[in-house]
Structure 1
């Protein structure tokens, strides 16, 4: 949209990203960006790094090095998230006494708040485990594109849970999205049928059908949990960090339960941190802090436009995958990726307020 505005107007730009909210003129800005816009920019960077690092940690292992258990990584991420929330909440209080009083009053003293967060936390725990499975069986770029189907599920659940309405153009964009993802997945399955040259570092067998099923299930859980959490945040006066503590406590419970059910024998045999290295811990920290970043985006921006910003990382992931994982995109993959990106742009444009003109957007 920038080519419609002059350079003079662009230099004075206050709204570089489309946000479906009203931004006060006196709001503090970072590098000329509002809190909403900055959070979305950081989210693009975080998503790109998370996908690439997770893919690398799951495939680029030496033959004699065991693969870390995804369930333990999910549990560790929840622990890091809880610690981060406590640190931020403590920083917001002047004394330990005030901090402890709020924890006692809003977390311990309100068990109903924990019960409310059981649904999204369970779905997020499922989603986090499925991401590891998906990235163990799909190329990073293919995963990024296919994962954009969460925009479709988010849109549907936003209509059902949040009472939003979509126009014909938005439904057309969502149809384009499905077509583009289908084309990309078709190319992925066809490519997987032809074995690659042996790689001493990549000894992992990939099944694109398992990866696809994991992504689709994750998209549905992400869409519902995201809209559910958005409704809770925007209809409640409870602190966002208290909500995240409640969410993380419940998420840790479900993640720990899943780890004990599925991987307890392996943990007894090889230990909780088997296969862990520096990259594994970077993935865990990135995933934990990324979850908090998503909560900030949902609070200050919009759950659907969050997906638009995330889709930008497709381009970055594809370029880096080309050099890092020797990823060779086909013409079908490129065509599908372009369709997905166009669909995201159309959907985002339709999500902007009708009263916001080009001149207002860049003035």
Structure 2
């Protein structure tokens, strides 16, 4: 049992480490791919989302194939038994998948109606909603220090992401009405993000199905909802230039990193939890900003950024520091 525990602990920190690497490299390559001046049309973000889902499904099928002794017969049986013959289990994942799709659209609404500072700061409430859902849905117990560290983390991330550019005239002209719409969109996105993450964690930890089967189920719905997004937002452009317009080597790197993200997040939720996922993501925001300063040279850190970075790092240690004695009760 002790060796099992130490293995889970290793997997927990390994998955969190990979998540920091994946999020950081995704942010940097995505920013770089979006700022490159290329001839012809730029790649469609909506199509990249679908392609990433399909790649994620393919990777999970390969992992299930490997887990079943590389036998095609066994793979077919597992997929039939776990996905087709258990429609209720599969449908359970339509909920988080649908919520994630809704959330992506809400953030689009939010950014159209809010200035960047208000958006970034308000969106950090998802750190707290995740903790609240973890406590109410999973019965997680958090100490006073851990609640405090979550508040510090929220404030720190808000400072880190505080935009340095003065608002443009268009941003200043936002009416009170449209700001209310934007704020409502962010608040609903915060609650839906917290709920979907914890709901997925609950499903992963309560059932016997493997994390990869669950990811295939999530990916199938993600691809369907994503295709709807392509049709609604970019239908016209896809008819003109095709689904893969503007794709180049860098686009494929971005899409692959996005697909890897889906796998890593599932592993993090399985072996760690959603709250720790929040800390890993926050650390990667700081890392990617610093790398972007030294490498892409498109960002100059301000004192506000450094203050926020210190808060995030302090919160990470504070959360872990209090969690350790509770996690390992003294053995008689």
**TM-score, length basis structure 1:** 0.75
Please state how far the C-alpha of 1:315 moved relative to its aligned partner. 3.2
Please state how far the C-alpha of 1:298 moved relative to its aligned partner. 1.3
2:90 to 72, 97, 114: 114
Please state how far the C-alpha of 1:172 moved relative to its aligned partner. 2.4
Greater share of helix: 2
Aligned to 2:213: 242
Segment of structure 1 superposing worse, 165-174 or 100-109: 165-174
Please state how far the C-alpha of 1:146 moved relative to its aligned partner. 8.2
Aligned to 2:195: 224
Contact 1:308 1:348 in 2 (8 A): no
Alpha-carbon displacement from aligned partner over 1:216-236 (angstroms, at most 9, x marks no partner): 765543322111111001110
For the pair 1:171 / 2:143, whether they are aligned, the reply is no
Contact 1:227 1:303 in 2 (8 A): yes
1:247–1:191 distance in 2 versus 1, CA, 3 Å? same
1:345–1:36 distance in 2 versus 1, CA, 3 Å? same
Contact 2:157 2:282 in 1 (8 A): no
Please state how far the C-alpha of 1:277 moved relative to its aligned partner. 1.5
Please state how far the C-alpha of 1:92 moved relative to its aligned partner. 1.4
1:258–1:310 distance in 2 versus 1, CA, 3 Å? same
For the pair 1:272 / 2:246, whether they are aligned, the reply is no
Q: For 2:106 and 2:51, how far apart are their aligned partners in 1?
A: 16
1:311 to 282, 287, 293: 282
**TM-score, length basis structure 2:** 0.81
1:81–1:62 distance in 2 versus 1, CA, 3 Å? same
Q: Secondary structure at the match of 1:34?
A: helix
Alpha-carbon displacement from aligned partner over 1:154-191 (angstroms, at most 9, x marks no partner): 11111221122333323322332333344445x41x52
1:135–1:43 distance in 2 versus 1, CA, 3 Å? farther
2:79 to 88, 103, 111: 103
Q: For 1:250 and 1:168, how far apart are their aligned partners in 2?
A: 38
Please state how far the C-alpha of 1:333 moved relative to its aligned partner. 2.2
Q: For 1:125 and 1:267, how far apart are their aligned partners in 2?
A: 20
For the pair 1:334 / 2:306, whether they are aligned, the reply is yes
Please state how far the C-alpha of 1:274 moved relative to its aligned partner. 1.7
Q: For 2:57 and 2:65, how far apart are their aligned partners in 1?
A: 12
Q: For 1:211 and 1:279, how far apart are their aligned partners in 2?
A: 32
For the pair 1:193 / 2:164, whether they are aligned, the reply is no
- Aligned-residue CA RMSD in angstroms? 3.7
Alpha-carbon displacement from aligned partner over 1:112-153 (angstroms, at most 9, x marks no partner): 1221001111223345677899999xxxxxx99987654222
1:255–1:23 distance in 2 versus 1, CA, 3 Å? farther
Alpha-carbon displacement from aligned partner over 1:86-118 (angstroms, at most 9, x marks no partner): 111111113211111111111111111221001
Please state how far the C-alpha of 1:55 moved relative to its aligned partner. 1.7
2:36 to 61, 68, 83: 61
Please state how far the C-alpha of 1:66 moved relative to its aligned partner. 2.5
Q: Secondary structure at the match of 2:243?
A: coil
Aligned to 2:52: 77
Q: For 1:112 and 1:25, how far apart are their aligned partners in 2?
A: 31
1:248–1:333 distance in 2 versus 1, CA, 3 Å? same
- Structure 1 alignment gaps of length 5 or more: 1-21, 137-142, 196-206
Aligned to 2:115: none
Please state how far the C-alpha of 1:275 moved relative to its aligned partner. 1.9
Q: For 1:263 and 1:275, how far apart are their aligned partners in 2?
A: 13
Aligned length in residues: 317
Alpha-carbon displacement from aligned partner over 1:331-352 (angstroms, at most 9, x marks no partner): 1222123223322322233333
Alpha-carbon displacement from aligned partner over 1:178-223 (angstroms, at most 9, x marks no partner): 33344445x41x524379xxxxxxxxxxx9x999998776554332
1:290–1:183 distance in 2 versus 1, CA, 3 Å? closer
